[in-house]
Structures are given as C-alpha cells and as structure tokens.
Chains A and B, each alone.
Chain A
Amino acid sequence: MSSLVIWALLWEIIGRMDLTFFIPPLSHVIVTLFDIIGTPAFLKALSETGYAFFGGVVASIVIGIPVGILIGKSRLLDEMILPWVNIFLSAPLTALVPVLMVLFGFGMTSIIITTTLFAIWIIILNTRAGVMQINRSMIEMARSFGAKPLEAFFKIYFWAALPEILGGVRIGVIRAVKGVIIGQLLISIVGFGALFELYSSNFLMTHFWAVLVVLFAMAFSISEVLAYLERRVAYYAAKR
C-alpha cells in the first residue's frame, strides 16, 4: 500500500515536469476521473465491460473448477487434458481472437469467450494442484462412510482444494480484466475498450489514464477480496 503512495507521488512529479503529453499529473487524472465517472458514456461502458467481465469470470469458475477437480482425480483425464491446459495458459491468446470472431461473431458472446479463455486455464491448473495434494485417507474416509461421487465432489474435493482454488481464481480474475479489454478492443469497440480507443486516438491522455485508474482500482479490489478469503482458509492449507 505504501509503495502505491510513492509511485503516485512520482507520477505527480513527472506529470508536473511536463516531460511528455503521455503522462499528465496524477491530480489532473483524478479530477478528470470524477468528471467522467457519472457521465452516461462512462456508465454505459462500465456496464458493458462489467457484463462481459462477470460473464467470463463466472464461466471460468463454473467450468474451470469442476474440470480441475476431474483431472486432479483421474490420471487418464489428466494425461489427456493437461497438455492443452498448459498450451493455452502460455499461448498468445490475442492471436486467437480473430478465430473467435469468425466462429462466434462480433458481439458479446465472443468477448465473453475471450475473457473466459484468459481466465480459465490458471483456475483449472490451480484446482488440479489443490486436488492432487488431498490426503488419500480423507478420500477413503468419505468412501468408507458411504459418500456418493457427487457428495465427495462438493463436500471433500472442493473444500480440500479451496486454498489453491481461491489462488487460481484471484490470478484468473486479473487475467480476465486483460481479456475483457483486449476483447473489447479487437472484437467490437464497446465498453472500456471503446473509451480507451476514443481517448487515445484523440490524445486525451488525462481521460485515458482516468479510465485506466478506475479499471485498476476495480481489479485491485476484487483481487484483495479474494486474497482476504484466501487468508481465511490458509489456516488449514498446511494440514490437510
């Protein structure tokens, strides 16, 4: 937190030195931020971006966690699916966006899928890692008391892997922010992507930075909430 203050100060100083139009003083950015934050254009962008973002994040979580648990449980599935997860995790996903546009059109669907593609792999990978370290006897315990597979899934695997799952979701969410903006820039110029496009092509750097700060603040808060949840379950991460 205190390092943020130092960087903010530095930004303000460099901005005031008028070195480049690219970096206006932070105080101007903040003022602009409050100017634009209530405008219809901003609110529209916020809702468009928020919709695509949450769509992508929810899809990543709802698909990613079960897939991660399944490949963590089954050796066979693991060998089939893990290579793909690793490839997509490090692949330049931006290059795939045009393909998505061909497949799913220029609308919200493609943007949500792009967001999902950015977020999901790390969630799968972390969930898998969480499941792989579950104590064998915990699983045998559930079996010996008659747990049905679905019960074991929700009452054992999910909770036992939760510390890792939350870590994966936290990184996934940050990647989703990147995904949603790239999607909105490349697929159809809507939401924050459209604002970035508009401001940067008109050299409105103060506005540009203001939107970026808002975006950063939102990503930061979500990630802090998840980090808080992670700390809440950390007490048992060491002893499962």
Chain B
Amino acid sequence: MAMHQIEKSYDNLQVVVPPADVAQSAVSVRNVSKGYGNVEALRDLSLEFPRGQLTSLLGPSGCGKTTLLKIIAGLLKADSGDVEVNGVKVAGPGPDRAFVFQDFALLPWANVMRNVAFGLELRGIAKSEREAIAEKYIKNVGLAGFERSYPHELSGGMRQRVGLARALSVDAQVLLLDEPFSAVDEQNRRKFQEDMLELVQKEKKTFIFVTHSIEEAVYVSDQIAVLLPRPSRVSEVIRPTSFRHKDAANIRRDPEYLDIIDRIWASLRNYVE
C-alpha cells in the first residue's frame, strides 16, 4: 500500500532519479492535505526525506512550505494523510524533532545561554548539565563570548544562530529549518551555507530546510523538492549527484549545479508575478 503511494508520488517527476529507499527515510509525508478555511494550502502531498541528508523545500511565497514544516513538527494538524518520523506516526511535537523559526522566537528576557539551553530546560535537564551542552553549541555556531548577551544586543544573523544552537542542543534526529538565513546579509549567508554543509556532515541528522533561494537550495541540498502553489504539490524532486564533494568555489561553477538552477527557474518562473 505504502509502496504504491510512493510510486504514484514520483509519477510526475520530470527528472528521473532513483527514489530514496523508504526504509532509509527519516520522515515520510503521505497524502497530506491541509486547508485554512477555504484556502487549500496543501493537496495530497507526499514526500520522503532520506535519513542523514538535507532536503530543501523550494517554492514561491505562499505555496505552503511553512505549513508543511509545521505539520511535520506536529504544531499543525493535517486535515488528511499522515506523517511518520522514524516509522512512528506524528501526533504532536516530540523530542525527535527540533524547529528553527523564521523569526527566531528567542526569549527577549533571557540571555544567549538560557535561550540556547531552553529546549533542555523544558525537558527537565539539570542546570549545570544543560549549560555545558549549550556552551558547546554556542561555540559551534560561532557565538562564544556572547553567552551573557541578550537577544536585543545581537544582530539578526547572530539571533538566527542562537535559534539554530537551541535546536541543535536538544539533539533531535530531525531538524526543521524555516528560512533560517532570511535575516542574514548576502556575505554572511554564503558563510552560513558553508557552515550548514559542515553541520550536515558532522551532525548526521536529517535536515529539512525551507528557502526561497534557488541557488541556496541547490548549493546545500542532497535533495530538492520543488513545490508549486495553489494548492501546493510536489512538482519535482531533484537529487544532485556530481558536485556534492567539491569545494565551495567549484560547486558554484559546476555545470550540473548551474543546470539544475536553470531547470528549477524554468519551472518556477510561471509562478512569479
């Protein structure tokens, strides 16, 4: 039954790729529909997210990327269909998933240390233990020395990294990132994208990454799901093969990289006013 649905969801692929083995999926989204009143945000959407890889959700504004991410997070309920994380049906938020919010969602009255440790605090981890863990991730995202600063004393990009460190420190297997680089200028964005690749390598986690930027999606992803709007559905799933191992400068010049960007742009351009 499940196999059948998976095949069906790959029917309309324009790029022929070897479908990810279902058993290898950390997250499976099956026939999910979701409406807000009479706005149909998602219709019968199915998608597999391979374990240990980064999948981007790419699509025009309002096509339901945040909605899909929140359904996976268990923050929103789907009207129909279901989501499985490691084979277990999602009924609500759980410790196997951590969310990085588009607008950071930091506690303005708490310093960086408490903010990063807040997920652990809610899980009842003792103070000394959670601060030791938070300390490590604060360093990892490059904020060492800012432990006692408050969010209003940080730049947008730094706040974004606090949100990322908070999600990393709860050690969830699946990280859900909603446009995590939206508050960052172009130079920092490139730096973050490189950090991101390193993180995927190091953390061995499943990343689901929402972005508006085609270049960014192709640059950081193992798999790119292009969504088309009204109602949102998966138009294609692309898995770049040849340039993942190359270094930053060479990726951006790689023919496959440029090719994929062109192809995605061609299918999205109709939806850009």
Binds B, one of A15-23, A52-60, A137-145, A173-181: A137-145
Residue in A141, A147, A159 whose beta carbon sits within 8 Å of that of B101 in the complex:
A141
B118 CB within 8 Å of chain A: yes
Q: How many residues of A contact B (CB 8 A)?
A: 21
Q: Is A171 an interface residue (CB 8 A)?
A: no
Closest chain-A Cβ to B183's Cβ sits at a distance in Å of: 13
B231 contacts the other chain (CB 8 A): no
A75 touches B (CB below 8 Å): no
Contact partner, B75, options A144, A151, A155, A235, Cβ 8 Å: A144
> A201 to nearest B CB, angstroms?
51
A162 with B170, Cβ < 8 A, contacts A145-B98, A146-B95 known? no
User: Bound state CA distance, A236 and B103, in angstroms?
Assistant: 15
Q: Is residue A205 within 8 Å, beta carbon to beta carbon, of the partner chain?
A: no
Q: Is B148 among interface residues, defined by CB-CB distance under 8 A? A: no
Given the interface pairs A135-B103, A137-B103, the reply to whether A143 lies near B75 with Cβ below 8 Å is yes
Contact B105 A145 (CB under 8 A): no
Q: How far is the CA of A162 from the CA of B109 in the complex (A)?
A: 10
Q: Does B108 contact A (CB under 8 A)?
A: yes
Chain B interface helix/strand/loop/mixed: loop
B204 interface residue per 8 A CB criterion: no
Q: Is A233 among interface residues, defined by CB-CB distance under 8 A?
A: yes
- For B123, what are the chain A residues with a Cβ–Cβ distance below 8 Å? 145-146
Which residue of chain B has its CB nearest to the CB of A237?
B108
Contact A140 B152 (CB under 8 A): no
Check A138 against B75 for contact (C-beta < 8 Å).
no
Neighbouring A residues of B74 by C-beta, 8 Å: 144
Q: Max chain B CB contacts within 10 Å: which of A137, A162, A236?
A: A137
For the side of the interface on B, what is the size category?
20 to 34
Q: Which residues of B contact A235 (CB under 8 A)?
A: 108, 150, 152
How far, in angstroms, from A155 to B70 measured CA to CA in the complex? Answer: 22
Residues 218 to 240 of chain A near chain B (Cβ within 8 Å): 233, 235-236, 239-240
Q: How far is the CA of A233 from the CA of B97 in the complex (A)?
A: 32
Q: Is the interface of A mostly helix, strand, loop or mixed?
A: helix
CB–CB B95/A137 < 8 A: no
Residues of B within 8 A of A145 (CB): 93, 98, 118-119, 122-123, 170
Q: How far is the CB of B76 from chain A (nearest CB, A)?
A: 9
A53 to B84, CA, bound (A): 57
Judging by beta carbons under 8 Å apart, are A144 and B97 in contact? yes
Contact of A233 among B98, B102, B109 (CB under 8 A): B109
Known interface pairs A142-B122, A145-B118; A159-B107 also in contact (CB < 8 Å): yes
Closest chain B CB from A30 CB (angstroms)? 42
The smallest beta-carbon distance between B192 and chain A, in angstroms, is 20
From B97, B98, B108, B119, residue with most partner A Cβ within 10 Å? B108
CB B109 to nearest CB in A, in angstroms, measures 5
Smallest CB gap from A138: residue in B: B105
CB-CB nearest in chain A for B102? A137
Restricting to B155-186, which residues have a CB under 8 Å from any CB of A?
A: 170
Interface residues of A in 186-240 (CB under 8 A from B): 233, 235-236, 239-240
Interface centre among B75, B107, B119 (most CB of A within 10 A): B107
Q: What is B's interface to A at a CB cutoff of 8 Å?
A: 70, 73-75, 93-95, 97-99, 101-103, 105, 107-109, 118-119, 121-123, 150-152, 170
Give the 10 A-B CB pairs with smallest separation, nearest first.
A236-B108, A141-B105, A145-B119, A137-B105, A144-B99, A144-B93, A145-B122, A137-B101, A147-B122, A138-B105
Using A145-B170, A155-B121, A239-B152 as known contacts, list a sample of 4 further A-B pairs with CB atoms less than 8 Å apart, ordered by residue number in A. Answer: A143-B75, A144-B93, A145-B122, A235-B152
